[in-house]
Structure 1
Amino acid sequence: MTPSDPGAGLAGADTTLVRRWNRRTVLSTLRENPQITLATMTKLTGLSRPTLSAVLEELTQRGLVQAHAPATGGSGRPARRYGFRATAGYALGLHFSPSKVLALATDLDGSITARGSIEMSPGTPAPDRLEAARALAERTAAEAGPIWTVGAATTGVVDPEGRVLRSSQISGWTGLDLTGTVSGWFDCAAVAGNDGTLAALGEKWQGVARYADDVALILSGHPSGQGMVLGGRAHHGRSGAAGELGRLLHDQTWNAAAVLDEAGRTAEEVFRSAAEGEEEASRVADHLAHHTARAASVLVSVLDPELVVVAGELTVGGRRFEQAVRAQLETMCINVPAVALSVLGDDVVPLGAVRMALDALEAKEYVRDA
């Protein structure tokens, strides 16, 4: 027995807690070190070989570990290597907006394996919306594999239990137990959150914000929203309403989406025409930058983040729009952070939903019961 091996000789200790700690340690080590030998794992984890062997056997039975053939060449008997099996299960991310439902499936490492979408009318009754979304989710899952966890993102305020507290944009959505609903589709655990917040999480995970710890995100266009990552973690707030600027947006000087509605043009049309020199399109483009900066300035002034990310419809404005937003922020904030446009497109929100779902699954060492 060695003092560094928490799995050995702990008379009277909570053995269930010890086993959980051992599993988590081994899983973390496997995730960080592909195709690692037992000897190397012993050094990195401090666990004894018998304890490691028992944990690896359990995780192999769950499908989470695979043994690789020993490397050839060199002297002596080659050692068997072990790796995390990311394709043992899959996570599904859903994004409910007034006009669309998006679905995206990834393996346990976050590699996208399938995606799909359906157009919806904002006035579609909630039962019909959910029925269509379930069919989409099942088609997407069929292209991927067994779904172990589901994350759902939606416009509106979502409480920590995954219930929609308030949604003014989707008919019949307020009061919906979104987590319970999507969980039942695949008989697995599920989580839910606001789309702006989960967009920020998706951007932190796989986008331009991956190297920043404090991030403010503006989800632009239709739908619009805001989200934040603090200390590398999505910040939902006490009730799930963190970043909700809805009442401020009634003042249209904050609402970039309202600028497009008033102009009767898409963002792509506006920016293309502005690049071609059209005076009216240039005016609208300037207004879009101003309104986007106004919304971002609230978060910047309170959070003092490292980075502001603009995601959604207005990213088609490219580098010129990005520079215009930062120039506007210079007139509104004392200390202006870097500004970047998302490169994840429509994937940004469902990816954040996947990340939230995987975080919950990983916290349970990939136990799949709901």
Structure 2
Amino acid sequence: MPTGTPLAASRSTTERHDMTPSDPGARRAGADTTLVRHLNRRTVLTTLRSHPDITLSTLGSLTGLSRATLSAVLEELTERGLLEEHAPATGGSGRPARRYAFRATAGYVLGLHFTPNQVRAVVTDLEGQVVARERTEVPPSVPAPERLARARALAETATSQAGPVWSVGVATTGVVGPEGRVLRSSQIAGWTGLDLVGTVRGWYGRDAVAGNDGTLAALGEKWQGAARYADDVALILSGRPSGQGIVLGGRAHHGRSGAAAELGRLLQDQTWNAAAVLDEAGRTAQDVFRAASEGEEEASRLAAHLAHHTARAASVLVSVLDPQLVVIAGELTVGGRPFLEAVRLQLETMCINVPAVVLSELGDDAVPLGAARLALDALEEKEYALEG
């Protein structure tokens, strides 16, 4: 099978010839064999990712698999482009041992982020190394078909710098249902009701997944940002766009309908909305925080106001989830440490037990990286499913 074939595309053709397909024993034996094959492959892949440039004997010691089983798994992974063999080390006595490594560039995942004003794209290899970033401005009034056409052109530009796309993740403002349809979106024209996953899937003929931007920002920070060492995370996406996201047990928490962490109706007073506050003042966040640092009274009042209402949104998630970490992402992070400290102090007046509060480490990459991680998760889960 040529390099570039998706993880779950290869199927074993081995059959037992002493039973007919309709025989329940044959079906059970086939299912057991498939399960063992998947578990063996999963074990080998996990070990290869954790121990790059590993010998067959060491791989056998770490996995507990026989040499024959390892050889079969390694042959399959090599055929599918997921394994590369390195030249044997030289200089020792005896026959040099062959060495193996997971080939992260066998395929790539695309993460897209739709905001009311932009589309962003990030492409990573199978280990999360970013190989391309692109963005384009798209005003909120642009109709959905044109927005999608621009996004497709952007995606093609980004992926042309990589290789075969094996999976696509999409993040957007609004509520995204479990099947990838936008259930509610008030900020992007023509977005409500859009089959986002179905549309994007057609671009590459590969699986696609989708989620809310706040949720996927939290996943991005968990993967490569400020939340790498926390399993339960609450994230506040501040400014334009604004939102919240949750990671529980190290995985994005979307909720039953995709509306987890959607606090808009709970926080109905628009003074909690940073974008509304800044628009009314006719100022950017950067301008407000800069002027506040220089002692301007009005800017200081606005900065305190933004910190209070960022903490207010965070307090709801903290009180319910009791997470290990709160991450502040988005536009208001330009406020830096003074803004962070102000949010933390406000939280202490609202919550019984305040967790650590940090600023995003990923900036504009947080959401599209989270989308890429969601796509990679879906790809890995498909590989490990109980199918041939």
TM-score using structure 2 length: 0.90
| Partner of residue 97 from structure 2, selected from 66, 73, 79 | 79
Q: Report the CA distance between 1:241 and its aligned residue.
A: 0.2
Q: Sequence identity, in percent?
A: 77
Q: Distance in 1 between matches of 2:311 and 2:274?
A: 9
Q: Deviations over 1:33-59 (max 9, x none)?
A: 101111111111111111110110111
What SS class does the counterpart of residue 106 from structure 1 fall into? Answer: strand
Q: Report the CA distance between 1:262 and its aligned residue.
A: 1.6
Q: Which residue of 1 aligns with 2:277?
A: 259
| 8 Å CA contact retained: 1:156, 1:167 | yes
2:143 partner letter: P
Q: Deviations over 1:96-149 (max 9, x none)?
A: 011100001011100100010111111111001001100000110001111111
**1:323 and 2:341 are equivalent in the alignment:** yes
1:220 partner letter: S
Q: Report the CA distance between 1:252 and its aligned residue.
A: 2.3
Q: Which 10-residue stretch deviates more, 269-278 or 11-20?
A: 11-20
**1:215 and 2:233 are equivalent in the alignment:** yes
Q: Report the CA distance between 1:364 and its aligned residue.
A: 2.1
Q: Which residue of 2 aligns with 1:127?
A: 145
What SS class does the counterpart of residue 134 from structure 2 fall into? Answer: strand
- What does 1:25-36 align with in structure 2 at a 5 Å threshold? 25-36=43-54
Q: Distance in 1 between matches of 2:384 and 2:112?
A: 20
**1:195 and 2:206 are equivalent in the alignment:** no
Which portions of structure 1, spanning 4 or more consecutive aligned residues, are displaced by more than 6 angstroms?
none
- What does 1:49-88 align with in structure 2 at a 5 Å threshold? 49-88=67-106
Q: Distance in 2 between matches of 1:234 and 1:366?
A: 19
Higher relative contact order (CA 8 A, sep 6+): 2
| 8 Å CA contact retained: 1:209, 1:307 | yes
Q: Distance in 2 between matches of 1:180 and 1:311?
A: 29
Q: Distance in 1 between matches of 2:57 and 2:383?
A: 23
Q: Deviations over 1:250-284 (max 9, x none)?
A: 21243222221221111111111111111111111
Q: Which residue of 2 aligns with 1:161?
A: 179
What SS class does the counterpart of residue 165 from structure 1 fall into? Answer: strand
Q: Deviations over 1:313-356 (max 9, x none)?
A: 01110011100000000111111111100021110000000000
Can you give the 5+ residue segments of structure 1 that lack an aligned partner in the other structure?
Answer: 1-9
Q: Distance in 1 between matches of 2:243 and 2:344?
A: 18
Q: Distance in 1 between matches of 2:121 and 2:88?
A: 39
Q: Deviations over 1:147-203 (max 9, x none)?
A: 111000001111111111111111111111111111111111110000000000000
Q: Distance in 2 between matches of 1:225 and 1:72?
A: 55
Q: Distance in 2 between matches of 1:44 and 1:159?
A: 41
Q: Which 10-residue stretch deviates more, 188-197 or 246-255?
A: 246-255
Q: Report the CA distance between 1:237 and its aligned residue.
A: 0.2
Q: Report the CA distance between 1:75 and its aligned residue.
A: 2.0
Q: Distance in 2 between matches of 1:318 and 1:170?
A: 29
| 8 Å CA contact retained: 2:47, 2:59 | yes
Q: Distance in 1 between matches of 2:290 and 2:384?
A: 47
| Partner of residue 172 from structure 1, selected from 190, 206, 210 | 190
| Partner of residue 103 from structure 1, selected from 117, 121, 139 | 121
1:95 partner letter: H
Q: Deviations over 1:287-336 (max 9, x none)?
A: 11001000101000000111110001011100111000000001111111
Can you give the 5+ residue segments of structure 2 that lack an aligned partner in the other structure?
Answer: 1-24
Q: Deviations over 1:208-266 (max 9, x none)?
A: 10101111000011100000111111110000000001112321243222221221111
Q: Distance in 1 between matches of 2:238 and 2:167?
A: 28
Q: Which residue of 1 aligns with 2:10?
A: none
Q: Report the CA distance between 1:363 and its aligned residue.
A: 1.4
Q: Distance in 1 between matches of 2:87 and 2:381?
A: 30
Q: Report the CA distance between 1:25 and its aligned residue.
A: 1.1
| 8 Å CA contact retained: 1:153, 1:350 | yes
- What does 1:240-319 align with in structure 2 at a 5 Å threshold? 240-319=258-337
Q: Report the CA distance between 1:77 and its aligned residue.
A: 1.5
TM-score using structure 1 length: 0.94
Q: Report the CA distance between 1:366 and its aligned residue.
A: 8.7
Q: Distance in 1 between matches of 2:162 and 2:330?
A: 26
| 8 Å CA contact retained: 1:255, 1:295 | no
Q: Distance in 2 between matches of 1:30 and 1:88?
A: 14
